[in-house]
Amino acid sequence: MLKLKIAILPGDGVGPEVTLEALRILRAVDEITHVDLRVQECYVGGAAIKKFGTPLPAETLDACLKSDAVLLGAVGGPEFDKLPPEQRPETGLLKLRQALGGFANLRPVTSHPAIADCSALRPDLAANADVLIVRELLGGIYFGEPRGFTNDEHTAAVDTMRYSEREIERVARVAFDIARKRRRKVTSVDKANVLHTSRLWRSTVDRVARDYPEIKLQHVYVDACAMQLISAPASFDVILTENMFGDILSDEAAAIVGSLGMLPSATIGGEVDLYEPVHGSAPDIAGKGIANPLGAIGAAALLLRHTAGLESEALAIELAIRKVLEAGYRTADLNRGTGRQLVTTYEMGGLVERAFMDAAETRHAYHAV
């Protein structure tokens, strides 16, 4: 029997609400497949600051390192903005990523015809978009040294952009390996006309590409990519880029599907994989029961695919999400057009669970004949 130990980090804002629905789906998978699912809930971010005085308690980190995977909700909120940077919730997340060692962040962006009216793009542009953004996660300007304010008056500051060949090569190989299983195209995004790190990025990616002759490689400046992602999203397959560019482009890509609440992410390549929705803590809607849990549920599907190796179950969850959307159910962020049925966070999770269980029962009945 497959054993799967997961550390659940609900975090702040809407994090606990959407994580609860993701966990509901994982328990449904456990019921059908009889995975030995073991869950430990821990504090992180602002919730951890309030209870322990630190955004990443030692107990949380220890539990994560002893798990097969980590499922995170969201961290942060305006109530913590006055804290020193090193004490804020987001610092706990960066330290967690560093400790887990995952260097490749996978952010799939797939258009759903049923919610084409929610896209910021014309339906003909959003249609058939299926993009995977592979973002390097442990290097670049978010981690480079020196960093911080350069004088006591806080009137000047510095952040350092730094990359090594090793950091670039390992994430590039992840992108090319995945492209082999998709449409065999990698778009590497940089700013090589300005940045030395981008020149190193481009030359390293070129070198890695020689090991993948069947993959079509193109280089695009980040500003051009930002425009093309909106004007022709279906032209992309796998987008490979560095930390900050990936952060920005993946949020922009939410315009294709209509909401950040739709997007999941997986961080792989380290000691323990980390899964989370792309959206933030959304404190303005926290506790109202209207947050979209589909990004978090999608993250649970990615967990089953990349950590547990349960591809059919992951696909079944993604199909269940599609069926619920096709049936016209929407959370508040997707409440556009006519003929839609507005549901709560909890109700949306229940609908996906039911669609998944119905499909599982149908498969079981078919195999029993």
Distance CA 343, CA 347 (A): 6
Mean pLDDT is lowest, of 68-82, 119-133, 196-210, for: 119-133
Residues 213 and 330 in one domain: no
Residues known to be catalytic: 142, 191, 223, 247, 251
- Domain residue limits at 178: 120-257
Q: What is the mean pLDDT of residues 136-142?
A: 95
Q: What is the dihedral of CA 169, 170, 176, 181, to 10 degrees?
A: 170
Residue 209: what pLDDT? 98
Q: What is the mean pLDDT of residues 327-347?
A: 88
Share of the chain above pLDDT 70, in %: 97
Residue 59: what pLDDT? 97
pLDDT of 142 higher than 70: yes
Residue 362: what pLDDT? 65
Angle at 240 between CA 237 and CA 246, to 5 degrees: 110
Residue 114 lies in a domain: no
Residue 245: what pLDDT? 98
Residue 209 lies in a domain: yes
Q: Is 287 left (phi over 0), alpha (psi -120 to 50) or beta?
A: left
Residue 339: what pLDDT? 64
Residues 160 and 196 in one domain: yes
> Do strands 329-330 and 264-268 pair parallel, antiparallel, or not at all (unpaired)?
unpaired
Residues 146 and 268 in one domain: no
Distance CA 287, CA 13 (A): 8
Distance CA 136, CA 236 (A): 18
Residue 252 to residues 185, 233, 306, 349, Cα–Cα distance (Å) = 21, 11, 25, 25
The pLDDT-based confidence of 367 (bands split at 50, 70, 90) is very low
The pLDDT-based confidence of 360 (bands split at 50, 70, 90) is confident
Residues 270 and 249 in one domain: no
CA nearest neighbour of 244 among 338, 143, 130, 166: 143
Is the bond into 146 cis (omega within 30 degrees of 0)? yes
Cα 22 versus chain centre, distance: 13
Average pLDDT, the chain: 94
Residue 113 lies in a domain: no
Residue 54: what pLDDT? 96
This prediction has a pTM of 0.92
pLDDT of 175 higher than 80: yes
Residue 369: what pLDDT? 40
Distance CA 75, CA 80 (A): 10
Residues 4 and 85 in one domain: yes
User: Residue 292 in contact with residue 259, Cβ under 8 Å?
Assistant: yes
pLDDT of 115 higher than 70: yes
Mean pLDDT is lowest, of 99-113, 222-236, 242-256, 349-363, for: 349-363
Burial classification of residue 83, based on how many CB atoms lie within 10 Å of its CB (0-12 exposed, 13-18 middle, 19 or more buried)? middle
Residue 368: what pLDDT? 45
Q: What is the mean pLDDT of residues 97-115?
A: 94
The pLDDT-based confidence of 243 (bands split at 50, 70, 90) is very high
Please report the beta strands in 1-103, taking only residues with DSSP state E, as ranges in sequence order. 3-11, 36-41, 69-74
DSSP string, 165-229: HHHHHHHHHHHHHHHHTTTSEEEEEE-TTT-HHHHHHHHHHHHHHTT-TTSEEEEEEHHHHHHHH
Q: What is the mean pLDDT of residues 351-368?
A: 75
Domain-ending residue, one of 222, 257, 292: 257
Domain-ending residue, one of 257, 283, 313: 257
Burial classification of residue 53, based on how many CB atoms lie within 10 Å of its CB (0-12 exposed, 13-18 middle, 19 or more buried)? exposed
Q: What is the number of domains present in the chain?
A: 2
At 68-95, the pLDDT tens digits run: 999 999 999 999 999 998 899 999 999 9
Residue 203: what pLDDT? 98
Distance CA 104, CA 82 (A): 31
Q: What is the mean pLDDT of residues 327-333?
A: 94
The CATH number of whichever domain residue 234 belongs to comes to 3.40.718.10
Residue 324: what pLDDT? 97
Residue 115 lies in a domain: no
Q: What is the mean pLDDT of residues 361-365?
A: 58
Residues 240 and 340 in one domain: no
